[in-house]
Amino acid sequence: MLGRAPSPNNLPFMPALSGLTALVTGASSGIGRAIALAMAREGADVAITYRGNERGAREVAERVGAVGRRCVVLQLDLARGPAAMEALTAGVRRELGRVDVWVNNAGADIVTPDADRTPTLEKLDLLLAVDLRGSILASWAAAELMGAQRDPDGGVIINMSWDHVTFGMRGRNPEMYSAVKGGVLSFSKSLARSVAPAVRVNVLAPGWIETAFGEGLEDARHRAVAESTPLGRWGTPEDVAAAAVYLASPAARFLTGQVINVNGGVVM
């Protein structure tokens, strides 16, 4: 289904991801939660991971079940490195048997008020371990799993970057975040060449998205972001989820190594 064009007669009635299985890391809240729910609504069974928010993950699983799809909940701490990936892939094989779409959404929090008080070097080490090394290891695991499935329709890996990595933003946190998310973007382009044609690899680069960080900003700065955005508002997790569904679907079957900025035009 990932490699073949859908029948024109069925296109208006067939969910975009019908019959597929998807893994979304970091899906207990925010963007990951929205992606998991959107993929379930489009017909996919999903596996989701959480690091510490098990309650949030279970709530997502309940909502997935409410639309008639299966949801597997797995604990994952990307900072643990290869051991964490071995446990995750074993859990996915055991619970779902296969994965058609793998979304590397999990990332370290360095910007919410509590996290922002963490010393700079600890933030940097966490970003490198979770966002960069974690995305690389997870992508390798996904590509290996999909290759072993020997499915003629292949598979899809979606990695998460940041729209400002090609534009820049002043400040210590943006400096570190740009380095790490820029690494994810560059890695993904090389991986796309390595695993083609069996697996497609694409990147989502969200901008100002209304998650916990946006909700915690003072009103004046929140308004300033919206006013500086060509489309006149903050993005929502559902905006990012819609782009993820598109990249996972047969509609994007000829896209690999590409980046979609989900940002209302802030960076073009």
Q: Catalogue the active-site residues.
A: 177
Report the C-alpha gap between 243 and 169 in whole angstroms. Answer: 24
User: CB count, 10 Å around CB of 260?
Assistant: 20
Distances from the Cα of 164 to the Cα of 53, 125, 179, angstroms: 28, 21, 10
Are the C-beta atoms of 166 and 189 separated by less than 8 Å? no
Report the C-alpha gap between 4 and 122 in whole angstroms. Answer: 46
Report the C-alpha gap between 226 and 179 in whole angstroms. Answer: 25
Q: Which residues of 4-14 are buried (b: 16+ CB within 10 A; e: fewer)?
A: eeeeeeeeeeb
Task: Identify which of 69, 53, 63 has the alpha carbon closest to the alpha carbon of residue 21.
Answer: 69
